[in-house]
Amino acid sequence: MMNEGPKLIRQLPKIRQAVISHPEPMMWYSEKRLELEILDLMYMTKGAKCSDMNGEVNKSDTMLTAIEGRMNEILREIRQRMNWEGSRLNDLQVIYHMMLM
């Protein structure tokens, strides 16, 4: 099952029908997740470079601020779309963990 995960899931009739009938939400979600993953890696890399010996990150770095701002923008877009689709989840931190975990 681990080796054939995506193939096996696509064979399930209801999931296959959902993907075929509505590919746009899947593509939108995938794009947002990919961008969020890239930004998260950039933030971790830059944060490691901007931290002191105690591990405290210097939040005044403009690149870190820009990365964090874009991540928050994406999370707000995801929350808005989820709310349009009937979800009542409003916590951006929970959405962040759901997207990346």
**Number of other residues whose CB lies within 10 A of the CB of residue 74:** 20
Q: What is the pTM of this model?
A: 0.73
CB 46 within 8 A of CB 61: yes
Cα–Cα dist 68/46, whole Å = 11
pLDDT in tens, 2-40: 566 666 766 778 777 776 777 777 788 889 999 999 999
Tokens 């779309």, residue located: 81
Residue 1 confidence (pLDDT) above 60: no
Q: CB-based contacts of 39: which residues, under 8 Å, 6+ apart?
A: 67, 70, 71, 74
